[in-house]
Amino acid sequence: MPSSVAPPDETSRADARAHLTRLPLAAHALGRLEDVAVWLAACQARSPARPPSSPRVVLFAAEHGIAAAGVSAFGPEETAARLEAVREGSAPTNALATVAGADVRVVEVGDGPSGRIDREDALSDDGVRAALDAGRTAADSAVDEGADLLVPGELAVGVSTPTAVLAAAMTAREPVAVVGRGSGIDDNAWMRKAAAVRDGLRRSRAAGRDPEDLLRIAGGADLAALVGFLAQAARRRTPVLLDGAAVCVAALLADAWAPGSRAWWQAATRDTEPAQALALEVLGLDPLLLLDLRAGAATGALAAVPLVTMAARVAAGS
């Protein structure tokens, strides 16, 4: 397990806050934009902060065995269709990335579908390590290539079911408190999903709050890769905008795996999944936008990229 992560630069944070008091505005007149500008300055270790010039979206694609259990409005084959849409540039993620000035990368992880978490472990020990390593490598590659704001996401059908299990395990909640409608499921599918989360949570109790054990028992390759990515981004001192439930619950595990990582993240949007709200509550992060999104694939976080740019520009007076 990685060691604790160094925090953002507090001197730059204080300088940025002081700089804002010299603007011709009432105290905290720009509200959350000021908070974002100060956070970005601390992450960049400079005041005032620079507007991000090279945002990068990194989407992790994997297959979940539980998707075959009728817990989603879509069949397992939809994961491949989503992946193809992103690659050909026709997905909502691509459209939003164009507006945000971000490039988009996809990282496929896992070797076929993960295990059905209501009946069997999602991953082997080697599978967890490989996915964590894939996430760390993706973060290193993005930073080494000049990315200065990272926007992670996922592409999988069925991911909200293991996401709910992990959220319940990390926050000691019952399944009913974490099971949402995901892709827009009906009541029957919700009951199947709730049963799968119940069984997955029962299987994972022996793991406690150990991130690697939970990912092995009830996670998936994309979720493990997100954990590795988020922890490594913090270690590389690079700010991250968090997307929906899967990313935020992965962030909850990443902060347990590499304590202090949360200081490098900003919650972008509130989605419709209760698991996301629980994760953000524990992390102490307040979303910038309330858009009721449930698309995943970094769409919510991309919607907030222009806000980060605005915050930096207005704080710098340009």
User: What integer pLDDT is reported at residue 247 of this predicted model?
Assistant: 97
CB atoms within 10 A of CB 103: 15
Mean pLDDT over residues 143-163, rounded? 95
**pLDDT per position as a tens digit, 191-208:** 999 999 999 999 999 999
CB atoms within 10 A of CB 48: 23
Q: At what angle do helices 10-21 and 32-44 cross, to 10 degrees?
A: 140
Mean pLDDT over residues 1-30, rounded? 88
**pLDDT per position as a tens digit, 298-308:** 999 999 999 99
pLDDT at 318 over 70: no
Mean pLDDT over residues 235-262, rounded? 97
* Among the ranges given (48-52, 94-98, 108-112, 313-317), the one the predictor scored with the smallest mean pLDDT: 313-317
Instruction: Give, for 276, the enclosing helix (H) or strand (E).
Output: helix 274-283
pLDDT at 3 over 60: yes
User: What integer pLDDT is reported at residue 221 of this predicted model?
Assistant: 97
pTM over 0.75? The answer is: yes
pLDDT band of 2, cuts 50, 70, 90: low
pLDDT at 154 over 80: yes
Cα(74)–Cα(230) distance, integer angstroms: 28
**What integer best gives the mean pLDDT of the chain?**
94
User: What integer pLDDT is reported at residue 184 of this predicted model?
Assistant: 83
pLDDT band of 317, cuts 50, 70, 90: confident
Rg of the chain over all Cα atoms, to the nearest angstrom? 19
**How many CA atoms, within 13 angstroms, populate the side-chain half-sphere of residue 122?**
37
Mean pLDDT over residues 142-148, rounded? 98
Q: Which domains does the chain have, with CATH numbers?
A: 52-305 (3.40.50.10210)
Instruction: Give, for 271, the enclosing helix (H) or strand (E).
Output: strand 269-271
Mean pLDDT over residues 216-223, rounded? 97
Taking 3-state DSSP, the helix, strand and coil percentages for the chain, each rounded to the nearest 5, stand at 55, 10, 35
Give residue 37's identity as a one-letter amino acid code: A
